[in-house]
Amino acid sequence: MERPDKAPGDVLELPPAGAPPVDVALEELEFVYAYIFARVGNRADAEDLTQQVALKAIPRLRSGASPAAIRSYLFATARSALASFWSARFGLPEEELHDEVWVPSEQPEPAGESVERVERILSRLPANYRKLLELRFLRGYSLKEVAAELGTT
């Protein structure tokens, strides 16, 4: 759902208050997509769900509705679409879904040979580089956490 006229990180201007509700909704769908993608984790499902939201919500928009009301309605519709999606995925009724429900990722255990190879490579590095790589990639630290741990900026 990338727009060709906007680069990532550009400031997005919202439509003026008197804009037609469909225009407001179309501008907001980019944010709805990001919201859905953050919850399903893959592009194909996020695009499908965003399309479902658009098809369900846009025809029901009231003319004269404020941009905030349209945004709220789109996100409420997105939550409903997500509930249906996860209900189907887990085989549970929507009423039984809870916020803390999540799908565990199935990552295979690293093979012994690859672990030994990584340890061999890391042992050849200077201590500061080895520590940086271990913190960042083996322990999953953010860049800020690595800098704090190493006492750098």
pLDDT tens per residue, range 37-49: 988 888 999 999 9
Q: Which residue do the tokens 């009301």 mark?
A: 69
Are 127 and 83 within one domain?
no
Task: Say yes or no: 87 and 53 in one domain.
Answer: yes
- Residues 34-87: tens digit of each pLDDT: 999 988 888 999 999 999 999 999 999 888 888 888 999 999 999 999 989 988
The answer on 116 and 59 residing in a single domain is no
Residue 131 maps to a domain:
yes
104, part of any domain: no
147 band by pLDDT with thresholds 50, 70 and 90: confident
* CA gap 49, 78 in Å, rounded: 8
Q: Residue 61 is part of which domain span?
A: 21-96
Question: 27 with 79, same domain?
Answer: yes
pTM for the structure as a whole:
0.53
66 found inside a domain: yes
In a domain, residue 80? The reply is yes
Q: Would you give the DSSP letter of residue 42?
A: S
Q: Could you tell me if residue 77 is inside a domain? A: yes
Sign of torsion over alpha carbons 39, 44, 47, 49: negative
